[in-house]
Structure 1
Amino acid sequence: MSKTDTQKSASAAPQARTSHLSPEDRAAKGRALRDTVPRVSQAGWRLPKDRRDPIEILSESNEGRIPQLIPIRFGRMSASPFAFYRGAAALMAADLATTPTSGLRIQACGDAHLMNFGGFATPERNVIFDINDLDETLPAPFEWDLKRLAASVVIAGQYLELPHSDAARAVTDLVREYREKMGNYAFMRALDVWYDKIDLQKYEDRAGDPKVVATIRKRLAERLETEKHKTVPDYLYPKLVAQEGSKPRIKDEPPLIFHPTAELAPGFESGYTEGIASYRESLPEHVQTLFDRFHFVDLAIKVVGVGSVGTMCSIGLFMAADNDPLFLQVKEARASVLEPYAGKSLHPNHGQRVIVGQHMMQSASDVFLGWTRGLNGRDYYLRQLRDMKMSAIIEDWDTGMLRQYGRMCAHALARAHARSGDAAMIAGYMGSGQTFDDAICEFATEYSVQNHSDYRAFIMAIREGRIKAQVEEV
Structure 2
Amino acid sequence: MVEQLAGQEVERVPRLLPLRHSRMSVNPFTFYRGSALTMAADLGSRPNSGLQVQLCGDAHLSNFGLFAAPDRAVIFDINDFDETLPGPFEFDVARLTTSFTLAGQNNGFSSIEIENITRAAAASYRNSMAGFAQMGELDIWYTRTDSSVLQSWGRDAAGKKGAQVADRTVAKAQKRTSWSAINKMTELVDGQRRFINSPPLLVRIEVGAAVHPLLTGLLEQYRDTLIDDRRELFGRYKLVDIGHKVVGVGSVGLLAFVILLQGRDESDLLVLQVKQAVRSVLEPFTAPSEFEQQGERVVSGQRITQAASDIFLGWIRGAQGRDFYIRQLRDMKWSPDVTLLNPGTLQAYAMICGNTLARAHARSGDAVAISSYLGTSAKFDNAMLDFALAYAGQVGTDFATYTQAIASGEVTLAADEVEAATLAFTADADHGIQAIRTPAQD
TM-score, normalised via structure 1 length: 0.84
Q: Does 1:366 align with 2:319?
A: no
Which residue of structure 2 aligns with residue 219 of structure 1?
165
| 1:162 is aligned to 2:112 | no
Letter in 1 for 2:358: A
Deviation, structure 1 residue 282: 0.4
Structure 2 counterpart of 1:183, one-letter code? A
- Give runs of aligned pairs for residues 295-374 of structure 1, distance below 5 A: 295-320=238-263, 321-374=265-318
How many residues were matched structurally? 417
1:235-314 to 2 correspondences below 5 Å = 235-259=180-204, 268-270=211-213, 272-314=215-257
Matches of 2:402 and 2:341, distance apart in 1: 27
Aligned residues of 1:119 and 1:200 also touching (Cα < 8 A): no
Is residue 444 from structure 1 mapped to residue 391 from structure 2 by the alignment? no
Show the 5 A alignment for 1:41-440.
54-203=1-150, 210=156, 212=158, 214-233=160-179, 235-259=180-204, 268-270=211-213, 272-320=215-263, 321-440=265-384
Secondary structure of the corresponding residue to residue 76 of structure 2: strand
Query: RMSD between aligned alpha carbons?
Result: 2.1
CA distance in 2: counterparts of 1:356 and 1:58, whole angstroms: 26
Identity of aligned residues (%): 41
CA distance in 1 between partners of 2:365 and 2:339 (Å): 34
1:251 CA drift (Å) = 1.4
CA contact (8 A) 1:82 1:159 kept: yes
User: Does the 8 A contact of 1:249 with 1:298 survive in 2?
Assistant: yes
Distance 1:373 1:111 in 2: 23
After superposition, the Cα gap between the structure-2 partners of 1:432 and 1:62, relative to the gap in structure 1 and judged at 3 Å, is same
Deviations for 1:8-65, whole angstroms, at most 9, x for unmatched residues? xxxxxxxxxxxxxxxxxxxxxxxxxxxxxxxxxxxxxxxxxxxxxx111111121121
One-letter amino acid of the structure 2 residue matched with residue 198 of structure 1: T
Deviates more, 1:252-261 or 1:90-99: 252-261
Provide the C-alpha distance between the structure 1 equivalents of 2:183 and 2:113, rounded to a whole number of angstroms: 44
Deviations 1:164-214 (CA, angstroms, capped at 9, x unpaired): 1211111111111111111111111110011111113442557x8735364
AA at the equivalent of 2:217:
E
Question: What displacement does 1:268 show?
Answer: 3.8
Q: Which amino acid aligns with 1:237?
A: I
Q: CA deviation at 1:246?
A: 4.8
Which blocks of at least 5 consecutive residues in structure 2 are unaligned? 419-442
Say if 1:209 and 1:163 are closer, same or farther in 2 by CA, change over 3 A.
farther
Query: What is aligned with 1:4?
Result: none
Partner of 2:164, secondary structure, is helix
For 2:157 and 2:363, how far apart are their aligned partners in 1? 31
**Equivalent-residue separation in structure 1 for 2:330 and 2:36 (angstroms):** 24
More contact order relative to length (CA 8 Å, sep ≥ 6): 1
Deviations along 1:344-376, one digit per CA (max 9) or x if unpaired, are 110121111111111111000000001111111
Residue pair 1:352, 1:371 contacting (<8 A) in 2 also: yes
SS at 1:305's partner residue? coil
Pair 1:177–1:213, CA change in 2 (3 A):
farther
User: Partner residue of 1:36?
Assistant: none
8 Å Cα contact 2:151-2:166 kept in structure 1 = no
Q: Which aligned runs of 4 or more in structure 1 are off by greater than 6 angstroms?
A: none
Counterpart amino acid of residue 196 in structure 1: T
Amino acid at match of 2:269: P
Distance 1:231 1:111, change over 3 A: closer
